[in-house]
Structure 1
């Protein structure tokens, strides 16, 4: 009989917990190859190893085990947190977290983790770097505006901030050029197909291909919409609580912004999006709500085209 091995991993160590003959065993190993080999002695070929996607700390261990044909499941930390809350656990220790992860694995169906390609890993790292650069650029711009509005900005300070801004913009541009080169190598055909959708540009097509790993992460478009963060969130209870509906922003903020911008042009050049815009406008819907609906429509079209591996057809049924 297989056992479910829960692992709570950190930068220097990882805690291991699993049930054997109605009792829980616990171990702590160093987060390095020596510890990986020690863990291997506890695992049988039929066992499952479950861990959280804790930053980049999980990746070396998951890669090590996967290369030895051990079944590994890497789960979203938020899923484990919600499971712990439903079990009414109050303790928060590495030992307890490892056991909680193992208990989660015993109760739910597990999906085997697959190591991504080298290009995909590079793209993820570059994407993360660009996000940080965007934050730094915005922070510098806001600071410069604040100093300028005071009316007493020192020339030396102004020159320094502008120089920093210029360097950040140049670095960002270089990274985006490299991202485009790698994305063409990894997802060239998919990007070309998605770009054929009126309203979607190169950057959006590239980002969609990257965050979905060439659309292999999802089985249907609803999962993709939820992942991006465009799913509607309804807040109602009984007859007295009727909150205003919003989208659930628990997904990728950058791709949401890109799709929202795409909806501005899609309402003019994309036939089905234009029809949707006119219909919702006639019903008196706010512009923001209509744009989000169009962004959802673009996501559905991108998902369908990527899965079909074909180009956009305006009158397709």
Structure 2
């Protein structure tokens, strides 16, 4: 007879703390700590492949990938959670923060919201492009620091120091371009029509492609509305009774880099893309605020791109949760 297990995993660089709960609330939780090693975790979870197991884990830089690969290879259902969201739940349960306490809180979260969890799948190319994007972001930060340092040392530096900083800045620019092209080539290996999409739409570019296209491709079970929420463009409603009713604004819970790129693309599309320019002008003519109109154009771009990545059942193999969602 199959057993139901709800598992919370608190992940660090060297180890993973697990907490196992069952559907029987009277039973005590089971705790176990394992090295963050593929073979060790795989050997342990093989004994659960005949049971109904649901695992939740948080994004932790890339330390979660080992566990993610194991669960994916064994066909065990799991969901990656946003730490910002789960932190409120964990703080409510316990004022103390320990690895064991977090694993218990995540397992409890798993049991309570098991029917609403979004399933996740592992994809090597998706993670690789994310890694390239992270490297590009790091280089941009270093480049900004160098520029600020050069300005701060203007009164005391000499020509040699200025030349070194300028050389480093130029090298960082070249490295960014190289990484973008490498990421774009990986993207084209599974989205071969990237060039067509970019050429057919004025204002679109490589930055938008490597930032958003992988999510659109590997999450074809998502709706356009879900993607708008994914990038943090859905409205944030703040109301209480009749006295508190704040004006709506976007929730900004998505990837800030993707949202920044979308903003820049929207600004360009408003000027050079007839379709989105008309959308913007129609909203302005109706008295909408310029910022509201720009956000509407950003949402329109997401909806348009989603139409180019339609639903495909082959991308949701193994996603057996009641509600489909992010990967």
Q: Confirm or deny a common fold (TM above 0.5).
A: yes
Distance in 2 (alpha carbons) for counterparts of 1:43 and 1:82? 30
3-state SS of 1:28 partner: strand
Question: Considering only aligned residues, what root-mean-square deviation do their CA atoms show, in Å?
Answer: 2.6
Partners of 2:10 and 2:58 within 8 A in 1: yes
Superposed displacement of residue 256, structure 1: 1.7
| Residue equivalent to 2:224 | 221
Q: Which residue of 2 aligns with 1:256?
A: 259
SS in 2 for 1:91: coil
Alignment of 1:82-101 (within 5 A): 82-85=88-91, 87-101=92-106
| RCO comparison, higher one (Cα < 8 Å, 6+) | 2
TM-aligned CA distance change 1:243 to 1:50, over 3 Å: closer
Aligned partner of 1:102 in structure 2 is 107
* Alpha carbons 1:215, 1:307 under 8 Å: kept: no
Query: What's the counterpart of residue 74 of structure 1?
Result: 80
Give the aligned partner of residue 295 of structure 1.
298
Q: Distance in 2 between matches of 1:263 and 1:41?
A: 48
Q: What TM-score, normalized to structure 1?
A: 0.85
* Range moving further from structure 2, 212-221 or 137-146: 212-221
Q: Give the equivalent residue in structure 1 for 2:8.
A: 6
Q: Could you tell me which runs of 5 or more consecutive residues in structure 1 were left unpaired when the two chains were aligned.
A: 310-317
Counterpart for residue 182 of structure 2 = 178
* Alpha-carbon distance change, 267 to 252 in structure 1, aligned in 2, over 3 angstroms: same
User: Residues of 1 paired with 2:95 and 2:44: CA distance?
Assistant: 28
Tell me which residue corresponds to 2:284. 281
**Pairing 1:122–2:128 present:** yes
Q: Secondary structure at the match of 1:134?
A: helix
| Structure 1 equivalent of residue 172 of structure 2 | 168
Larger displacement relative to structure 2 (265-274 or 45-54): 265-274
User: Does 2:191 match 1:187?
Assistant: yes
Q: Structure 2: how far apart are the matches of 1:23 and 1:243?
A: 44
Give the number of equivalent residue pairs. 304
TM-score for both structures, normalised by structure 2: 0.82
- 1:155 is matched with 159
Conserved in 1, the CA contact under 8 Å of 2:94 and 2:101?
no
